[in-house]
Amino acid sequence: MNTSTKSTIVVGGGIIGLTSAWRLAKGGYHVILLDPSPGRGATWAAAGMIAPHAEVAPGERANFDLHRQALTAWQLLSQELDDVVNRRVHISVTGTILTGWDASDRRLVDQFRQVATDFGVTSTIARRDTHPEIFAGLSDRISSGLLLAGDAWLDPDEAIAVLREGLDALGVDVITETVNAIEGDASGVRIHHGSGSLRADAGILATGALGLPEGATPTGEHAVRPVRGMTVRIDGIDRSGAPTLRCLVRGRPFYMVSRPGGYCVIGASSEERSGSLIEVGELQRLLRDALEVVPELETCSLYETRVGLRPASTDLKPFFEEWPERRWAWSSGHFRHGVTLAPLSARSSVDFVDRVTK
Ligand SMILES: Cc1cc2nc3c(=O)[nH]c(=O)nc-3n(C[C@H](O)[C@H](O)[C@H](O)COP(=O)(O)OP(=O)(O)OC[C@H]3O[C@@H](n4cnc5c(N)ncnc54)[C@H](O)[C@@H]3O)c2cc1C
């Protein structure tokens, strides 16, 4: 390491920590990232949708504007990674088809269309007779849906793998240990982990829904709680040429992201609690919805379930809380959208570190 190079510690190697570490390393910092199991937090369970149009929600205009920038930010990041490691994060812009199972679900879809229109989102109605390819494999009961162009998805496993290759190539040190305590003052930061202590010029906390290490000094303006979610991985049906499927089933949201070759991620449950064990009823509800909407799943193979804790803030918005006098910042609260927003949040990390270390 060049002794004049400034250093940064990133605590947490989910999608937020990894993209921050990448951007900081690209910005010329020597980066040390610590996580006992990088990429195995909420990011591991995520479906990887980047869906600003399907995620429109009343009162969430700020989130919508951010989400719309995210796709371009991911495409740029993917190109940058490709330039360094000759491997990209594939981003599929398939759009979304949003449907309803029963009359009351379809009314909710109509209401959604009104909100989306108010946000300036263009949508069209797709019907089974005019767009048979979109409805192939779906229950006969579903004969129309709202088509939202421009939504996309990526594979979070691939994103984690490519980012880690990128960090390797840029000389980032990844230490697979938990950070137990942090310190900081105007001269720099220090962390204590299982096998010792490390110093750096600045630090970023990207610990997702988990608590902050001892010594962190949140202002009280933000708090994070875990909202648990489960996805199920299935093999044997390839709808990758069609828009990502979202369906309301008796008021419950169901989605299926289909990748080339037959790998599908279906989801997702959402509960205000932590814990990684899957209740039988929770799995049964998701599979029942899935089988009703996509009967062809009957003969597919179920090969994995994954659980993650979405980091939800009080107002459900992501935040970047700065403690400049201690040279630490805390990036969290990404809730349902951390994969989407990661490359944008990473920019806040560099802006902060540039400012406190200049
Ligand atoms: C079922 C499900 C589906 C989802 N689908 C989508 C989707 O389609 N699109 C989308 O945009 N988002 C989706 N999300 C949301 C997204 O996964 C999260 O917002 C995002 O992963 C949060 O990233 P993170 O890096 O903040 O947290 P995490 O991925 O949880 O990473 C935090 C990391 O910090 C580490 N850590 C914590 N404390 C310490 C410590 N003291 N020392 C060292 N390391 C520590 C943990 O080990 C962990 O690896 C989904 C989430 C779930 C659960």
The secondary structure of 126-149, three-state, reads: EECCCCHHHHCCCCCCCCEEEEEC
User: To test the ligand 1 pocket, which listed residue (35, 154, 233, 320) has its Cβ within 8 A of the most ligand atoms?
Assistant: 35
pLDDT in tens, 14-70: 999 999 999 999 999 999 999 999 999 999 999 999 999 999 988 888 889 899 999
CB 184 near ligand 1, within 6 Å: no
**Residue burial 58-93, b: 16+ Cβ < 10 Å; e: rest:** eebeebbebbeebbebbbebbebbeebbeebbebbe
- Give mean pLDDT, residues 220-245: 96
pLDDT exceeds cutoff 50 at 2: no
Q: DSSP labels for 136-193?
A: TTS-TT--EEEEETT-EEE-HHHHHHHHHHHHHHTT-EEE-S-EEEEEEETTEEEEEE
Fold of 96-149+225-312: D-Amino Acid Oxidase; Chain A, domain 2 (3.30.9)
139, HSE (Cβ side, Cα atoms, 13 Å)? 17
Residue 261 CB coordination number (10 Å): 9
**In whole angstroms, what is the distance from residue 96 CA to residue 246 CA?**
7
The sign of the CA dihedral 277, 280, 282, 286 is positive
Same fold, 7-87+156-223+314-357 and 96-149+225-312: no
The DSSP output letter for 44 is H
- Report pLDDT for 119: 93
Assess contact for 25 and 125: CB atoms under 8 A.
no
| Architecture (CATH level 2) of domain 7-87+156-223+314-357 | 3-Layer(bba) Sandwich (3.50)
**How many A from CA of 356 to the centre of ligand 1?**
26
CB 13 near ligand 1, within 6 Å: yes
Q: What is the pTM of this model?
A: 0.96
Which residue, by CA, sits nearest to atom 38 of ligand 1?
207
pLDDT in tens, 59-107: 888 889 899 999 999 999 999 999 999 999 999 999 999 999 999 999 9
CB 52 near ligand 1, within 6 Å: no
For a pLDDT cut of 90, what percent of the chain falls above it? 91
pLDDT in tens, 152-197: 999 999 999 999 999 999 999 999 999 999 999 999 999 999 889 9
CB 206 near ligand 1, within 6 Å: yes
Cis peptide leading into residue 312 (ω within 30°): no
Report domain extents, the chain: 7-87+156-223+314-357, 96-149+225-312
Amino acid in the structure at residue 320: F
- Report pLDDT for 244: 98
Burial class for 221, CB neighbours closer than 10 Å (0-12, 13-18, 19+): exposed
Which residue, by CA, sits nearest to atom 45 of ligand 1?
12
Mode of pairing for the β-strands spanning 319-323 and 144-148? unpaired
